[in-house]
Amino acid sequence: MIFISHNSKDKAVVEQIAIRLRDIFGQNNIFYDSWSIQPGDGIIDKMNEGLTQCKLFLFFVSKNSLGSNMVKLEWQNAIMKMTNGQTKIIPVRLDNCIMPTILLQSLYVDLFQNGLEVALRQIVDIANGRNTFSPQFSEFSNLIAYKWWEGTTLIIECIAQYYMEPIPNFAFVTTNTEEQISYKCKDCVMFNHGFNPNAVHTGEGLTFNAIRLDFPQNIVPGFPQYAEFSAKTNVPIEIFGVLHETQKNQWKSIPMLNKTL
């Protein structure tokens, strides 16, 4: 039995969850006052009956519910059952209220922050005994590039955000030809480099040139490396992307952002 504890002022949101849970688990397995308590029923008796059968107690926490004596009675009784191992309490935050200290020992579902669909999916996973983890950083990149202009020189800064990158080899994607652009590693005495025409092919059938710069030192957080690009002719410099060599001859695009000075 899933017991839904809430304040009537929050029904507009809570009922969306209740109906979806009813569709999944069946109405007889969801205690929701709108259908579990009918005219002529004793409210307290029905509440006690629902709490007695409850295995999962959903406490919809809001400023409204925290100010309700009836809801307070429900969740305090549920805490007593939880201490005896008879039920599991899942707080569901509906607004920017302050969670009661006694509930902070449990992770809560944050509908206010994450939205209805995410909250519902987490509640269903909990009810089914599934792990609620879902990746949040699927597009993670330790490396990031920032670009800006210093006069007529384009500077691209390559940064390691979290940990050292042992392969400091990069390719800068451009439409410029070798006769139109000069490049170097800023403040480097020695570094490997090369211009590779038609080296980058996109899924759309486009082809670009690549300027390879191998920085002489590993890139570690707080110690970025810089590439400088200058025009040899009147043709403007265009750098469209930055690739990092992850393994020999294997390259991965890294984010490139404009830097505001």
How high does pLDDT run on average in the chain?
A: 87
Does 118 lie in the same domain as 21?
Answer: yes
Q: Does 138 reside within a domain?
A: no
What pLDDT is attached to residue 136?
58
Most confident of 101-115, 129-143, 170-184: 170-184
Does 93 lie in the same domain as 60?
Answer: yes
What pLDDT is attached to residue 97?
86
What pLDDT is attached to residue 191?
83
> Residue 49 carries which side chain, given as an amino acid letter?
E
What pLDDT is attached to residue 253?
92
Question: Is pLDDT of 131 > 80?
Answer: no
User: Using an 8 Å Cβ cutoff, are 231 and 241 in contact?
Assistant: no
Range of the domain at 110: 2-127
Nearest-angstrom CA–CA distance, 167 and 170: 9
Q: Does 136 reside within a domain?
A: no
Nearest-angstrom CA–CA distance, 83 and 66: 21
CA nearest 109: which of 123, 99, 96?
Answer: 123
Q: Does 135 reside within a domain?
A: no
What pLDDT is attached to residue 158?
96
If you average pLDDT over residues 38-58, what whole number do you get? 81
Predicted TM-score (pTM) of this structure: 0.53
Q: Which two tokens stand for residue 17?
A: 């969850």
User: Using an 8 Å Cβ cutoff, are 200 and 169 in contact?
Assistant: no
Between residues 18 and 80, which one has the greater pLDDT? 18
If you average pLDDT over residues 137-144, what whole number do you get? 79
Encode pLDDT of 63-93 as tens digits.
998 888 888 888 777 887 776 777 888 889 9
CATH number at residue 113: 3.40.50.10140
CA nearest 230: which of 127, 154, 156, 141?
Answer: 154
Give 75: exposed, middle or buried? Use CB within 10 Å, 0-12, 13-18, 19+. Answer: buried
Q: Which two tokens stand for residue 114?
A: 């994450």
Lowest mean pLDDT among 28-37, 42-51, 61-70, 196-205: 42-51
Nearest-angstrom CA–CA distance, 173 and 210: 5
Place of tokens 């001859």: 249
Q: Does 133 reside within a domain?
A: no
User: Using an 8 Å Cβ cutoff, are 48 and 40 in contact?
Assistant: no
What pLDDT is attached to residue 86?
78
Question: Is pLDDT of 137 > 60?
Answer: no
Nearest-angstrom CA–CA distance, 103 and 88: 12
Q: Does 164 reside within a domain?
A: yes
Does 161 lie in the same domain as 116?
Answer: no
Between residues 42 and 10, which one has the greater pLDDT? 10
What pLDDT is attached to residue 201?
85
Q: Does 106 reside within a domain?
A: yes
If you average pLDDT over residues 41-51, what whole number do you get? 79
What pLDDT is attached to residue 178?
95
What pLDDT is attached to residue 134?
59
Q: Residues for the chain: how many in total?
A: 261
Question: Is pLDDT of 237 > 80?
Answer: yes
User: Using an 8 Å Cβ cutoff, are 119 and 92 in contact?
Assistant: yes
Does 192 lie in the same domain as 115?
Answer: no
Q: Does 137 reside within a domain?
A: no
Does 120 lie in the same domain as 8?
Answer: yes
Encode pLDDT of 183-208 as tens digits.
999 888 778 899 999 998 877 778 89
As for how many domains the chain has, the answer is 2
Lowest mean pLDDT among 35-49, 112-126, 197-211, 214-228: 35-49
Does 220 lie in the same domain as 180?
Answer: yes
CATH number at residue 147: 2.60.40
Q: Which two tokens stand for residue 162?
A: 């979290």
